[in-house]
Structure 1
Amino acid sequence: MSATEQELNAFRQQVSAWLADNKPADPGFLLPQSFMEVGTEQQLEFLREWQYRVWNAGYLGMAWPKEYGGGGVEPVFQSIVDQEMRRHAVPICFNVIGLGWAGPLINHIGSEEEKARYLKGILTGEDIWCQGFSEPDHGSDLGNAQTRAVRDGDEYIVNGTKIWTTMGNFAKYMILLARTNPNAERKYDGLSFFLSPMQVPGIDARPIRKITGEYGFTETFFTDARIPADCLMGAEGQGWKIAMQTLQYERGAEAGAAGGLAFVRVLINDMIEELRDMTRDGEPLLRDPVVRDQLVQLIMEEKANALCEKRGAIQALGTDYPFSLQLSHKLRFSEYGRRMRQFAVGLQGAAGGLYVGDAQARQGGFWQRAYFNNFSTTIGGGTSQVQANIIAEHVLGLPK
């Protein structure tokens, strides 16, 4: 039986009260704006403790099965929690690749043994997950991955390199796409998918310093690394199909995520508040007609994106172009975020050139940092160009 509106309202009040009482105090050091900036042990332990508290209170993985650490309730309850977490501006739940991609995949197609082995550790934050898809020499050509996995008895021997493996240096597991048959007629048929352990000899994850000055990404080297054969998901040669299903979770086109905040949500209202005390030629910047026009355009776009999220959940409203809203979700939100943050930095004039650590930087360089960090969202999970091609081909039916 579905929950009543009265029950949902009561639950929302309960969640709000818990968050108000349990929101962590400022730790005195820089917290990540997303899971892609977790670069220090200090940040990691703070966020791991916070995620555990959220899960232990029953507010994470609420729609996942009870027997694997979830709550076993309707997804609407988790949606309410996520909304309230954004409203209370609490820290992120950092284990996003587990919570949002690996976990839903294991929940949907994993064996009972895999569910029992992996799901609870994802929710508690004990088991950190990373993603081994992209490679240095192949860019967005994921189907041409060359990392090799060769069967040797009860193990696979893995050799190759993966890049942009977020939190790879902290991770216990990796969702790994590797080539098990280099002679397959179609390159996609030679790929297999592994739930690979990371803490084994021959795997070396080296942090990459980003333009923000922070870390979070790694380049991961496999040198005769031996991983158990039973971490193969599905059968050999099914890796491309499983990887594409995983990317549907990453791009927001499939449900099933455990919940929690993956990013510090930055809204147009936050930028308007930042502009209230800014002046240009002695006049408040918000009175400038050009600035006001640009702000209104951004407000309309943000509202349209929010309405598209709601519309995408109503099947009858998507019959003209099925899955168009879900498939375009990642492209719309990441590109909007980039332009909105760039606009906020540009309005600061010369002060826009200051950064975190500069005493005169507005809001401690928040908007500059947010702008630089947003580039990872326009690249990860498929670049904006790749996403535009997916929409053109699979929604509009245009030729390749």
Structure 2
Amino acid sequence: MSESERKDSPEQAEFRVHCRDWLRENHPGEPSVRLPQSAIEIMTEPQLHWLQAWQKAAYDAGLVGCDYPEAVGGGGRTDCQRVANEEMQAARTPFLPNVIGLGMAAPTLFYHAQEPLKERLLPRLLSGEDIWCQGFSEPGAGSDLASVQTFAERRGDRWVINGHKVWTSLAHFAEWMILLLRTDKSHKYDGLSYFVVPIRSALGKGVTVRPLIKITGETGFNEVIFEDLEVDDSYRLDELGKGWQVAMTTLLHERGGGELVTPRSGGLTAKTSFSPTARNLRTLAQETPRGDGTAADDPLLRDRIVHQFIREEALQQNQRRSRVPALQDHPMRLQLQYKLLISELAQDTARLGLEVAGPASTLYLADEHAPAGGQWPLAYMNSYGMTIAAGTSEIQRNILGERVLGLAKSK
């Protein structure tokens, strides 16, 4: 029995048994399509539909949205999403495709939307039937998020939106977008408001989605252009001019502030999702010829792989602190640390994977001789997006230094 299990409440212990039994009987198994490494790299409808069916099944079984009230489509449980996540990770299930909806939109809606809007949107978000995307970054406002210029002009009970968002993951499949925009040009922070916008139904009628092709050949990112899109005022979250405060709720969860999304667990087969973990790194070393043996025979290399295992374990243990109020000396510390460290860990592990593979690391997805089907170079290239999204590593360090540790601001 793990330490986490020993600390389960009676409700959590009973729920853990339910999760474990259900996953044993209903694991999705070998997918019918080759899956991407994460939700934000979903490119084709067959990929999306297979993953949506998995999320819907897990939701119907009570493993997704466990801690949300039943009135908004949740399970009405207490601190049980963590249990479901642990069991899904142990079962090595695929990721849930509605990652932005679960990790960012759902908590933002729950804390800031009116009850009728929550009751309408959250059930289909949690089940994965409606995919969500995030409209924050703009061509001239990435790191300085408060400088967004996408503007909404009020006309009675309606708003007319014009502007340009970029790096919008999953917009090519999304039904809804969480949208930070400007409603007052005379104030930087107080001139921002926060909306949820139906973009799928508005394609060609005020919304244009254009894919951005990455160096990997994938098209998970998009730019979204708004041209006189009209939305009702009921889609605004919280008060007018409170968009910055609402956006902080979104960013808190994007940076790891909630137990809302099942972690990626690596893959069992060539078609399942892959992530650059120490476990996968060890497998690569054991399968890579080196001299008369394998790369795993190199003691220096084994030491570096063990170091990655230690970093992963440290991150998991650090996350446990978030459930102990006495260990939280600052509300932003753990979230910022987690986002910073997990993104850099993934990048370092992927880089080490290329070193282990050696010359074969230059072989990509279409090459039948590529180690792990070419997933390691793909993971390395994608890892740079992780150290940029939700604030670059440099920004995370600045915030930790200035707002958490109280250090002088950098010039």
Assess same fold via TM > 0.5.
yes
- Pairwise CA distance, 1:4: 6.0
Where 2:15 maps in the other structure, the secondary structure is helix
Question: What is the identity, as a one-letter code, of the residue corresponding to 2:174?
Answer: A
- Pairwise CA distance, 1:195: 1.0
Asked if 1 retains the 8 angstrom alpha-carbon contact of 2:141 and 2:147, the reply is yes
How far apart are the structure 2 equivalents of 1:133 and 1:189? 16
Question: Over aligned residue pairs, what C-alpha RMSD do you find?
Answer: 1.9
Gaps of 5+ in 1: none
Question: Does residue 140 of structure 1 match 2:143?
Answer: yes
Asked if 1 retains the 8 angstrom alpha-carbon contact of 2:284 and 2:357, the reply is no
Partner of 1:366: 375
- Pairwise CA distance, 1:322: 5.5
Q: 1:125 aligns with which of 116, 123, 128?
A: 128
Question: Does residue 23 of structure 1 match 2:24?
Answer: no
Give the 5 Å matches for 1:92-111: 92-111=95-114
Question: What is the TM-score normalised by the length of structure 2?
Answer: 0.90
Change (3 A) 1:191 1:322: closer
Question: Does residue 336 of structure 1 match 2:316?
Answer: no
Partner of 2:189: 188
How far apart are the structure 1 equivalents of 2:317 and 2:253? 20
How far apart are the structure 2 equivalents of 1:240 and 1:170? 26
Partner of 2:4: none
Where 1:44 maps in the other structure, the secondary structure is helix
Partner of 1:35: 39
How far apart are the structure 2 equivalents of 1:191 and 1:263? 37
Q: Which moved more, 1:40-49 or 1:365-374?
A: 365-374
Q: 1:73 aligns with which of 77, 88, 106?
A: 77
Partner of 1:155: 158
How far apart are the structure 1 equivalents of 2:237 and 2:9? 40
Question: What is the TM-score normalised by the length of structure 1?
Answer: 0.93
Give the 5 Å matches for 1:1-400: 8-75=12-79, 77-184=80-187, 187-198=188-199, 199-200=201-202, 201-253=205-257, 255=258, 257=260, 259-261=261-263, 264=266, 266-319=276-329, 323-400=332-409
How far apart are the structure 1 equivalents of 2:116 and 2:81? 25
Partner of 2:272: none
Question: What is the identity, as a one-letter code, of the residue corresponding to 1:194?
Answer: F
Partner of 2:271: none
How far apart are the structure 1 equivalents of 2:221 and 2:53? 21
Question: What is the identity, as a one-letter code, of the residue corresponding to 2:397?
Answer: A
Asked if 2 retains the 8 angstrom alpha-carbon contact of 1:127 and 1:171, the reply is yes
How far apart are the structure 2 equivalents of 1:46 and 1:284? 36
Where 1:210 maps in the other structure, the secondary structure is coil
Question: What is the identity, as a one-letter code, of the residue corresponding to 1:73?
Answer: R
- Pairwise CA distance, 1:10: 4.6
Gaps of 5+ in 2: 1-6, 267-274
Number of residues of Structure 1 aligned to a counterpart in Structure 2: 392
Question: What is the identity, as a one-letter code, of the residue corresponding to 2:101?
Answer: G
How far apart are the structure 2 equivalents of 1:296 and 1:261? 21
- Pairwise CA distance, 1:318: 3.3
- Structure 1 outlier segments of 4+, above 3 Å: 3-11, 259-266
How far apart are the structure 2 equivalents of 1:6 and 1:146? 50
- Pairwise CA distance, 1:39: 1.2
Asked if 1 retains the 8 angstrom alpha-carbon contact of 2:89 and 2:262, the reply is no
